[in-house]
């Protein structure tokens, strides 16, 4: 190869000229920046327009709007605390159930499952994500609820003598409650958290894992020592996406939560969430009631942003600690 | 494709109109309906979901009468329907409630046309207890949580000879804002002195009560919960096979929710000048007391004459020939007197 004639001098090949390529480069940069800004602009517009529309309802008493526990459109009393409580409680239940299960599935797929069966499991989990949420709600209200109601009643009986637990799991006559909604949300979050966790685990350098094995670690020790510290930030991110879905989920929750107003420590009591109440009451609302419903949307939006922000801080701190301790 | 079709229809309409005018000269009767000129085009309405089953069936049947007029109805809820009406987004609106100050509809710019009515049943799940009879005060006390068990003396008083269990009462209600809730609570509010929860599309129900999504959801809650009692429309109560209570009417008789008893209630109701009427607790020995009316809102002025003609013809169908379809869908047709008033109002509104 070296013996052949030298190639034609590069400058003679016209690539469009330096000026033009620089222009294209600039144009591209501008275009991509614009695309990036679109997200910000859209978010900003949503926040501004919803806030403006919700203002008449919120202005009557911003504190009352957030902390009031009476929601009575007839008397134009709008307190969103019961819905806020419902959203947080159901999302918390969903997270408690979904995060360990999803991480388990992801670890199973990346570390334990046989290479050939791996892709089938991935497909099945991803399929779960394609089921429309209204289907989850219908299955919940028609199939799950009659089935779990006796279970709830049995469990309430079992923990009745235990102080603390008997307040959380109290008597019930219905399966339409926070707990069922939390379970349905958990199932809906699992595919999201799983597939991101799987991607995160895949980024763990092979050398870390082999290093752990070389030091005599068992598989469990390798997972806790090499994989989890490396993936912590990603796992929190995955959980946050799941949490976002859980907090914003509307119709599945509306169908199973029982739609009643109240703040109840009993997880087996019917309640309501912010997203669900907007969907339920929107169609027949008017005037100040409509504004108040939009106001709920603003609060939900603010809380989601706040939680994501907190999560980011948690990730940054934890990553520093973990990397410092283990590397 | 669509444009082409419309253009062709337009051409045909223009042709028939011209032909009709030429042929009829001065001697035509201005009635629309089954005779002669069919209106073509597209009209759309939106609003109440309560009469949607009837409107949907009527639209389907109407398509056979006049396939050239395409009618759509979106069951988006009375509130949304009214605000869309106010903004001119639909050609007619369906509503269960009357137009209020903050609905976005200008006073004097609309006309109510009553179409059908339906009873709101009080359905319950209490195995072994059939033909439950409830007087109005007891009904109110049950739904505001003042009576909590089924063997309460107040319930026993109107149900002699029936063995009532000591099962706890679970209230089932609509979780979505609903004209059904509004009518049911309005009945309790107007008919009884004991009712304290007020009335409206949403009410703050007692703690421990369970909300279901739409009528179907409430019917589900009742089926799934022993000791439950709730208000459901007749269609869902019948199709779910729920037990319905007989409710005391204005004259002290206990009446089952049937379509006949509903039409009787419309007959007994006083109709206002704007054609709105209140059929709750209406006079008459055979009337069922909890009846929900529903209306169509018409603009008093339409910009487009074809649309006006289309709306007129379809609404005319709803309150005349279409009434037969109503009973199949568990809606009560209007009594003759009210129907005539509605037809007159329709002809006055859209000339």
Are B42 and B92 within one domain? yes
Are B136 and B168 within one domain? yes
| A270–B208 CB contact, under 8 Å | yes
Domain containing B182 equals: 120-267
Q: Is the pLDDT of residue A292 over 60?
A: yes
Are B86 and B39 within one domain? yes
Of B49, B175, B224, the CB nearest to A259: B175
Rounded to an integer, the average pLDDT of A200-206 is 91
pLDDT at position B351: 79
| A280–B217 CB contact, under 8 Å | no
Q: Is the pLDDT of residue A293 over 60?
A: yes
What CATH code would you report for A63-326? 1.10.3720.10
Q: Tell me if B208 is assigned to some domain.
A: yes
The residue written with tokens 């009829």 in the block is: B24
Q: Which residues 97-126 of A are in CB contact (within 8 Å) with B?
A: none
Paired sense of beta strands B110-124 and B243-244, if any: antiparallel
DSSP codes joined into one string, B52-84: HHHHHHHHHHHHHH-TTEEEEEE---HHHHHHH
What CA–CA distance (Å, rounded) separates A111 from B296? 64
Prediction pTM value? 0.79
- HEC sequence for B79-92: HHHHHHHHCCCCCE
Are B90 and B74 within one domain? yes
What CA–CA distance (Å, rounded) separates A141 from B175? 14
Q: Tell me if B262 is assigned to some domain.
A: yes
Q: Which residues of B154-168 are buried (b: 16+ CB within 10 A; e: fewer)?
A: ebeebbeeeebeebe
What CA–CA distance (Å, rounded) separates A74 from A258? 21
- In percent, the amount of chain A with pLDDT more than 90 equals 61
pLDDT at position B87: 92
SS3 content of chain A, % helix, strand, coil (to 5): 75, 0, 20
| B213–A142 CB contact, under 8 Å | no
Are B242 and B314 within one domain? no
Beta bridge mates, B119: B291
Q: Tell me if B275 is assigned to some domain.
A: no
Calculate how close chain B gets to A191, using CA atoms only, in Å.
27
Are B248 and B126 within one domain? yes
* Rg of chain A (C-alpha set): 26
Q: Tell me if B196 is assigned to some domain.
A: yes
Are B97 and B222 within one domain? no
Residue A260 near residue A271 (C-beta atoms within 8 A): yes
Determine which of B148, B213, B218, B221 to mutate to test the interface with A (most A C-beta atoms within 10 Å): B213
Burial class (CB in 10 A: 0-12, 13-18, 19+), A186: buried
SS3 content of chain B, % helix, strand, coil (to 5): 40, 20, 40
Number of domains in chain B: 2
Are B32 and B132 within one domain? no
pLDDT at position B23: 40
CA dihedral for A249, A251, A253, A254, sign (positive or negative): positive
Task: Please give the ipTM for the structure prediction.
Answer: 0.74
Are B299 and B226 within one domain? no
Helices (H) and strands (E) in chain A, counts: 14, 2
Rounded to an integer, the average pLDDT of A18-23 is 74
Are B184 and B220 within one domain? yes
Calculate how close chain A gets to B67, using CA atoms only, in Å.
31
Angle at B68 between CA B65 and CA B69, to 5 degrees: 85
* Type and span of the H or E element at B244: strand B243-244
Angle at B102 between CA A271 and CA B281, to 5 degrees: 70
Q: Tell me if B205 is assigned to some domain.
A: yes
Residue A176 near residue A141 (C-beta atoms within 8 A): yes
Residue B126 near residue B228 (C-beta atoms within 8 A): no
Residue by residue, pLDDT tens for chain B (351 residues) are 444 444 444 444 444 444 444 444 333 334 444 444 678 889 999 998 889 999 999 999 999 999 999 999 998 888 889 989 999 999 999 998 888 887 888 888 999 999 999 999 999 999 989 989 999 999 999 999 999 999 999 999 999 989 999 999 999 999 888 888 989 999 999 999 999 999 888 888 988 899 998 888 999 999 999 999 999 999 999 999 999 999 999 999 999 999 999 999 999 898 999 999 999 999 999 999 999 999 999 999 999 999 999 999 999 999 999 999 999 999 999 999 999 999 999 999 987
- CA A222 to the chain's CA centroid: 28
pLDDT digits (tens, 9 = 90+) for A95-144: 999 999 999 999 999 988 888 899 899 999 989 989 999 999 999 999 99
Q: Tell me if B52 is assigned to some domain.
A: yes
CB pairs < 8 Å spanning A and B: 121
- HEC sequence for A243-280: HHHHHHCCHHHHHHCCCCCCCCCCCCCCCCCHHHHHHH
The gap between the terminal CA atoms of chain B, to the nearest Å, is: 33
Of A72, A149, A270, the CB nearest to B204: A72
| B79–A286 CB contact, under 8 Å | yes
Calculate how close chain A gets to B249, using CA atoms only, in Å.
26
Where a domain ends, among B267, B285, B309? B267
Rounded to an integer, the average pLDDT of A262-281 is 91
What CA–CA distance (Å, rounded) separates B188 from B138? 10
Are B69 and B110 within one domain? yes
Q: Tell me if B27 is assigned to some domain.
A: yes
Q: Tell me if B278 is assigned to some domain.
A: no
| B177–A72 CB contact, under 8 Å | no
CATH code for the domain in which residue B200 is found: 3.40.190.10
| B104–A286 CB contact, under 8 Å | yes
pLDDT at position A13: 60
| A174–B170 CB contact, under 8 Å | yes
Phi then psi for residue A14, to 5 deg, are -85, 110
Nearest chain B alpha carbon to A145: B224
- Report chain A's mean pLDDT, rounded to a whole number: 88
Residue B113 near residue B275 (C-beta atoms within 8 A): yes
pLDDT at position B309: 93
Are B311 and B228 within one domain? no
């Amino acid at each position: 190869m070296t013996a052949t004639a030298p190639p034609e001098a590069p400058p003679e090949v016209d690539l469009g000229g330096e000026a033009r390529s620089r222009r294209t480069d600039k144009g591209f940069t501008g275009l991509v920046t614009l695309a990036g800004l679109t997200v910000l602009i859209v978010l900003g517009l949503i926040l501004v327009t919803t806030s403006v529309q919700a203002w008449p309802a919120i202005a009557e008493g911003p504190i009352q709007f957030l902390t009031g526990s009476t929601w009575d459109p007839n008397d134009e009393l709008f307190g969103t605390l019961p819905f806020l409580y419902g959203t947080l409680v159901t999302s918390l239940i969903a997270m408690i159930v979904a995060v360990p299960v999803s991480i388990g599935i992801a670890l199973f797929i990346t570390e334990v499952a046989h290479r050939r069966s791996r892709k089938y499991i991935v497909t099945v989990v991803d399929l779960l994500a394609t089921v429309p949420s209204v289907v989850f709600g219908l299955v919940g209200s028609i199939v799950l609820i009659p089935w779990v109601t006796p279970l709830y009643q049995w469990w309430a009986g079992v923990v009745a003598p235990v102080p603390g637990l008997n307040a959380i799991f109290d008597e019930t006559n219905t399966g339409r409650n926070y707990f069922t909604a939390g379970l349905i949300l958990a199932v809906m979050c699992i595919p999201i958290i799983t597939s991101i966790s799987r991607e995160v685990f895949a980024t763990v350098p092979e050398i870390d894992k082999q290093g752990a094995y070389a030091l005599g670690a068992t598989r469990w020790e390798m997972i806790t020592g090499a994989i989890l510290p490396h993936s912590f930030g990603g796992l929190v991110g995955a959980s946050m996406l799941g949490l976002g879905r859980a907090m914003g989920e509307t119709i599945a929750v509306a169908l199973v939560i029982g739609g009643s107003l109240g703040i109840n420590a009993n997880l087996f009591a019917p309640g309501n969430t912010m997203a669900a109440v907007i969907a339920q009451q929107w169609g027949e609302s008017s005037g100040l009631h409509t504004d108040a419903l939009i106001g709920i949307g603003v609060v939900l939006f603010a809380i989601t942003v706040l939680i994501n922000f907190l999560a980011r801080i948690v990730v940054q701190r934890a990553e520093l600690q973990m990397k410092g301790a283990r590397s | 494709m669509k444009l082409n079709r419309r253009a062709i229809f337009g051409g045909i309409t223009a042709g028939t109109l011209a032909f009709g005018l030429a042929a009829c000269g001065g001697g035509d009767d201005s009635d629309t309906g089954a005779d002669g000129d069919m209106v073509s085009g597209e009209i759309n309405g939106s609003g109440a979901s309560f009469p949607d089953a009837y409107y949907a069936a009527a639209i389907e049947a109407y398509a056979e009468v006049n396939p050239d007029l395409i009618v759509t109805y979106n069951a988006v809820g009375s509130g949304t329907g009214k605000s869309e009406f106010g903004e001119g987004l639909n050609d007619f609106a369906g509503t269960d409630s009357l137009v209020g100050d903050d609905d976005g509809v200008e006073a004097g710019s609309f006309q109510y046309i009553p179409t059908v009515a339906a009873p709101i049943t009080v359905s319950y799940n209490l195995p072994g207890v059939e033909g439950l009879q409830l007087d109005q005060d007891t009904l109110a006390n049950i739904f505001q949580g003042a009576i909590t068990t089924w063997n309460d003396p107040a319930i026993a008083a109107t149900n002699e000879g029936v063995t009532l269990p000591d099962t706890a009462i679970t209230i089932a209600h609509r979780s979505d804002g609903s004209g059904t809730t509004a009518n049911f609570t309005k009945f309790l509010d107007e008919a009884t002195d004991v009712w304290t929860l007020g009335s409206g599309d949403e009410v703050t129900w007692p703690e421990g009560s369970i909300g279901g999504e739409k009528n179907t959801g409430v019917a589900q809650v009742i089926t799934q919960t022993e000791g439950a009692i709730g208000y459901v429309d007749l269609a869902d109560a019948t199709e779910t096979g729920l037990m319905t209570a007989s409710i005391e009417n204005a004259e002290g008789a206990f009446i089952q929710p049937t379509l006949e008893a509903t039409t009787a209630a419309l007959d007994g109701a006083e109709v206002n000048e704007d054609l709105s009427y209140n059929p709750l607790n209406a006079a008459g020995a055979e009337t069922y007391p909890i009846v929900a009316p529903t209306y169509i809102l018409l603009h008093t002025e339409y910009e487009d004459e074809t649309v006006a003609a289309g709306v007129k013809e379809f609404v005319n169908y709803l309150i005349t020939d279409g009434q037969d379809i109503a009973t199949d869908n568990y809606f009560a047709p209007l009594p003759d007197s009210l129907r005539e008033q509605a037809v007159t109002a329709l002809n006055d509104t859209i000339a």
